[in-house]
Structure 1
Amino acid sequence: MRPRAQSAHGRSFGNLAQLYDDVRPSYPDAAINLMPMNWKDAQVCDLGAGTGVLSRLLLDRGSQVIAVDPDEAALANNPARSLIGSAEDTGLPTDCADVVTVAQAWHWFDETRAAAEIARILKPGGHLLILINQLDVRIAWVLRLSRIMHAGDVYRPAYRPGPAGFDLVDHALVEFTTPVTVDGIVDLARTRSYWLRSNEVTRARVESNLYDYFSLDHPVSGELDLPYLCLAYVLRSAA
């Protein structure tokens, strides 16, 4: 996808802000705790913060959070102080953050420009925490579900983010599940970028295929536990 188109898709989630909050999983404590610090009173920039799935958890830990995102509609659901901006141009002052967090958004950024901007707003020796929730496609039925949804989730165990000017100091893979109904999985598909950029015919086909899958191939009654992985990476500014 071209950078401009990629950026546009990354800004489209605010149209479904409440649905996104309702069906997207939160981030496990073990992933957040990978950061070697006390979150209380920490100055945190939650970058690509969207509706605030991570922002809420950081506020609960006592952090001073500023949520930055280009999507004004998404930020309207975010309880943190907010600022319209991008990863490449946050609008924040230099050396203002102890930590920059990026949850479910790193793949939308221009990595070179974002790394330079993050390094600028971090205090010397500050940290960058990247969190990525994805379906646990190591499990056969979840892999099939991912393909029906066109989720694009691919498990790459060797992947490590390597933005210029940062050193990777720790990483972890945290397994977790979230309870969901089949209707909830269809709603989850509606928050994916494939759905958002598809026409009504394609959306109807995906919805039908999901209901068929859970009635015929993988029958479900009531709720099921949907397996996820949270990939967590802690990086320190080399400046």
Structure 2
Amino acid sequence: MTWAGEWGVENSELLARRAQSFGPEAAAYDEHRPDYPMAAVRWALEPVGGGGEALDLGAGTGKLTGVLHAAGVRVVAVEPDDGMRAALVRRHPETPAFAGTAESIPLPDDSVHAVLVGQAFHWFDQERALPEIARVLRPGGVLAAFWNSPDTSVEWVAELDRVSRSGASFTPVAEQRLPSHRAFQAFEQNEFPHTQRRNAESLTATIGTHSHTLVIPPEERAEVLARITAYLRGRTETATGEFELPLRTQVIRAVVRP
């Protein structure tokens, strides 16, 4: 997982291309990306009593939206990409879904108790997005962001992470920095175990929805995905049938200042 701002300025063009790469793969993203653990959502919503009205910002195909519905939260979604938003509407037709960005949210002031962001906060321009998020939050409202990451404390997962890297992968940072902004109280962070049921082919397809495999040339993409499949078929843990992919879901949250 990487916070925005920890990628160097020299990566700005690549960062933009990666951020805009998901729409054409919306169907695959919806099929293969994991959801989020309920425990992580409940922790994120603790400051507002676990319920109310929430904005799923940068909602993608609705992976977080579904968990929020299961938690009993009333959800509105904002997603800039037409293809991703259409997939969300197909999966969650009961959810109001609007075109918009974190820097320009199409909601009134003081309209939601919580703004939640699944796997998208690192794409935001934080200097513009954080005050805009604060604008739509009600007094005492909370912002929370989620990232699913492979649990690289497991040896085969750590090696998979290495095998999966492409020419568009960002260099991992040694230390993560929590965001800060005058519109919010201090950010907190927590981490939750999670898993996803996969086989060698479906896990390869999952990694094929990651932006670092979407923006590379077709020849390199084919080589990376073939390398991943060969690795998984060569490991005892993943060679045949289904298995549990160990994940860690990292969450940050902050309450808006009065």
Compute the TM-score of the two structures, normalised by the length of structure 2.
Answer: 0.84
Deviations 1:64-120 (A, max 9, x none): 211111101101111221111110111221111110001100110011111011011
Mapped partners of 1:214, 1:71: distance in 2: 32
Aligned to 1:87: 102
TM-fit CA distance, 1:194: 1.2
- Counterpart selection for 1:55 from 61, 65, 71: 65
- Tell me if the contact between 1:137 and 1:153 (Cα under 8 Å) persists in the aligned partners: no
The answer to whether residue 215 in structure 2 is matched with residue 205 in structure 1 is no
What code does the residue aligned with 2:76 have? I
Q: 2 CA distance for matches of 1:104 and 1:153?
A: 18
SS in 2 for 1:56: helix
Q: Which amino acid aligns with 1:238?
A: R
Distance, in Å, in 1 between the alignment partners of 2:104 and 2:130 is 11
* SS of equivalent to 1:67: strand
Change (3 A) 1:108 1:207: same
Residues 43, 64 of structure 1: 8 Å contact kept: yes
2:27 maps to 18
Q: Distance in 2 between matches of 1:156 and 1:51?
A: 31
Correspondence 1:102 to 2:117: yes
Q: Counterparts of 2:13 and 2:110 in 1: how far apart (Å)? A: 28
Structure 2: stretches of 5+ with no match in the other structure: 1-9
Letter in 2 for 1:178: Q
Q: String of CA shifts for 1:102-147, please: whole Å, max 9, x gaps.
A: 1100110011111011011111221111111111122222121112
Shift of 1:12: 2.5
Structure 2 contact 33–206 (Cα < 8 Å) conserved: yes
Distance in 2 between residues matched to 1:83 and 1:154, nearest whole Å: 33
Partner Cα separation in structure 1 for residue 58 and residue 170 of structure 2: 19
Count matched residues.
Answer: 238
Question: Does structure 2 retain, via aligned residues, the 8 Å contact 1:138–1:155?
Answer: no
- Distance in 2, matches of 1:156 and 1:56, equals 33
Q: Which moved more, 1:162-171 or 1:81-90?
A: 162-171
Identity of aligned residues (%): 31
Q: Does structure 2 conserve the Cα–Cα contact (< 8 Å) formed by 1:39 and 1:58?
A: no
Cα distance between partner residues in 1 of 2:139 and 2:16 = 29
Q: Which has the higher strand share?
A: 1
Asked if 1:223 corresponds to 2:223, the answer is no
In the alignment, which residue of structure 2 is the partner of 1:144? 159
8 Å CA contact 1:132, 1:231 repeated in 2? yes
1:3, 1:83 → 2: CA distance? 27
Per-residue displacement from partner, 1:43-82 (whole Å, max 9, x unpaired)? 2111100100011121233322111111011011112211
Q: Which TM-score applies when normalising by structure 1? A: 0.90
Q: State whether residues 17 and 215 of structure 2, in contact with CA within 8 Å, keep that contact through their aligned partners in structure 1.
A: no
Instruction: Flag as ranges the 4+ runs of structure 1 deviating above 6 A.
Output: none
Cα distance, 1:62–1:171 mapped onto 2, change above 3 Å:
same
Q: CA separation in 1, counterparts of 2:182 and 2:174?
A: 21
Aligned-residue RMSD, C-alpha:
2.2
CA apart distance, 1:198: 0.9
How far has the Cα of 1:2 moved from its partner? 5.0
Closer/same/farther in 2, CA of residues 5 and 90 from structure 1, 3 Å limit: farther
Which residue among 63, 76, 86 is the counterpart of 1:76? 86
Deviates more, 1:191-200 or 1:158-167: 158-167
**Deviation at residue 152 of structure 1 after TM alignment:** 5.6
Per-residue deviation, 1:5: 5.0
Q: Assess if the C-alpha contact under 8 Å between 2:178 and 2:187 holds in 1.
A: no
User: Is 1:238 aligned to residue 257 of structure 2?
Assistant: yes
Q: Would the alpha carbon gap of residues 221 and 187 (structure 1) be closer, same or farther in structure 2, given more than 3 Å must change? A: same
Q: Report the residue type matching 2:86 in the other structure.
A: A
Q: CA deviation at 1:169?
A: 5.9
3-state SS of the aligned residue for 2:186? strand
